[in-house]
């Protein structure tokens, strides 16, 4: 069996990825998560419980009660020595690093949380990959790295030297760190720039979760930039399918890469970057309307100015990824939001 490490496995995308991986019995899966209290840990524990993991403080490794090929370690990826030990114990074929401190606005309030998880933690993963000869390291980046770019659609070859918040800066740093390890140690690394991921089991600090909670409580929702926002909303299962198809397609050096005219999305090292988005930008007000339809209730709008670190528009160019894995995210917002709303009503025990 091929061995896969998924960090952030109690998180939003990590949970869905583990679910997808468990379908393939040829994979032995190990999840890592520190169960950080950035948001309600009960949501994280419920995600783990669905995969047969019950957290017990006195046990370092927990075997799933539902899946014989799934184990879980409760550990912070910034615990360098522990991460190296775990990776040396299993000798993973593939590593998918989804553990990170998320959130653009929170990075303004608590910057040290981002250097801890996104810089120190990622270094642990890189060193563990180097020491154990990992065949492919996939890691989460973000569309936020495009920062002050205003030309649309956003393409992997665009410059990303002007981030608008520390969160984006740490993710840009991850891409640079990964390249250095690909160059020095020939570790195949693939960075994935996610575009506004949404869906069931999402984070409570994400817009869709906050909107649903407020609408059903007859409270106003905060609509930033007076609703004049456009986002490339991407359904979580489309994200996960893309990751799944990338696992056994490790990055390779680009034959056409030139130091005289460098393409920042590729390299002479086994390194690559991909956008993952729906490539179908949606106005925020249409997004809200789709949620209103799914919940059967109108929202009370509280129009607000643009928030620090936000951008007015995102639009992913995804043809490079589509050509590489023969798959393109395709779930439209009406379908995706309906799935979310059904889950949310059930999760909150509001469903009839």
167 an active-site residue?
yes
Nearest Cα neighbor of 218 from 302, 294, 340, 303 is 302
* Strand partners of residue 2: 27
C-alpha–C-alpha distance, residues 25 and 142, integer Å: 30
For residue 56, give both structure tokens.
Answer: 């017990």
> Which residue in 114, 167, 198, 287 is the catalytic one?
167
For residue 26, give both structure tokens.
Answer: 């040829």
* Strand partners of residue 193: 141, 275
Residue 269 per-residue DSSP state: S
The CB-side HSE value for 214 (13 A sphere, CA atoms) comes to 20
For residue 278, give both structure tokens.
Answer: 């729906």
C-alpha–C-alpha distance, residues 154 and 146, integer Å: 7
Question: What's the chain's Rg over C-alpha atoms?
Answer: 20
H or E, element range at 41:
helix 41-50
C-alpha–C-alpha distance, residues 328 and 325, integer Å: 8
90-106: burial string, b at 16+ Cβ within 10 Å, e else: eebbbbbbbbbbbbbeb
Instruction: Give the residue carrying structure tokens 């468990």.
Output: 22
230-264: burial string, b at 16+ Cβ within 10 Å, e else: bbbbbbbbbbbbbbbebbeebbebbeeeeeeeeee
Catalytic positions: 167
């Amino acid at each position: 069996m091929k061995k896969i490490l998924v960090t952030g496995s109690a998180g939003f995308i990590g949970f869905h990825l583990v679910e997808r991986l468990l379908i393939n019995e040829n994979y032995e899966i190990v999840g890592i998560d520190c169960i950080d209290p950035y948001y309600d840990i009960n949501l994280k524990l419920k995600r783990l419980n669905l995969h047969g993991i019950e957290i017990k403080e006195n046990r370092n490794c927990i075997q799933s009660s539902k899946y014989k090929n799934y184990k879980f370690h409760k550990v912070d990826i910034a615990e360098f020595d522990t991460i190296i030990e775990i990776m040396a114990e299993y000798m993973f074929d593939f590593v998918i690093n989804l553990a990170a401190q998320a959130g653009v606005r929170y990075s303004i309030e608590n910057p040290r949380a981002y250097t801890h998880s996104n810089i120190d933690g990622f270094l642990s993963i890189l060193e563990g990959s180097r020491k154990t000869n990992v065949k492919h390291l996939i890691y989460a980046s973000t569309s936020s790295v495009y920062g002050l770019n205003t030309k649309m659609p956003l393409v992997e070859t665009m410059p990303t030297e002007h981030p608008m918040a520390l969160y984006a800066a740490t993710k840009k740093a991850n891409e640079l760190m990964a390249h250095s390890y690909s160059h020095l140690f020939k570790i195949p690394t693939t960075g994935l720039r996610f575009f506004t991921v949404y869906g069931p089991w999402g984070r409570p600090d994400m817009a869709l979760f906050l909107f649903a909670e407020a609408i059903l409580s007859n409270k106003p929702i905060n609509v930033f930039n007076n609703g004049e926002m456009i986002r490339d909303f991407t359904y979580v299962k489309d994200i996960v399918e893309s990751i799944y198809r990338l696992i056994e397609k490790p990055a390779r050096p680009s034959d056409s890469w030139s130091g005289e005219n460098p393409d920042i999305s590729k390299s002479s090292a086994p390194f690559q970057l991909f956008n993952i988005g729906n490539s179908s930008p949606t106005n925020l007000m249409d997004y809200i309307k789709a949620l209103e339809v799914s919940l059967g209730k109108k929202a009370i709008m509280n129009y607000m100015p643009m928030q620090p670190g936000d951008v007015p528009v995102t639009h992913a160019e995804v043809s490079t990824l589509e050509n590489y894995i023969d798959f393109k995210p395709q779930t439209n917002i009406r379908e995706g939001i309906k799935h979310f709303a059904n889950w949310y009503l059930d999760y909150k025990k509001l469903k009839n």
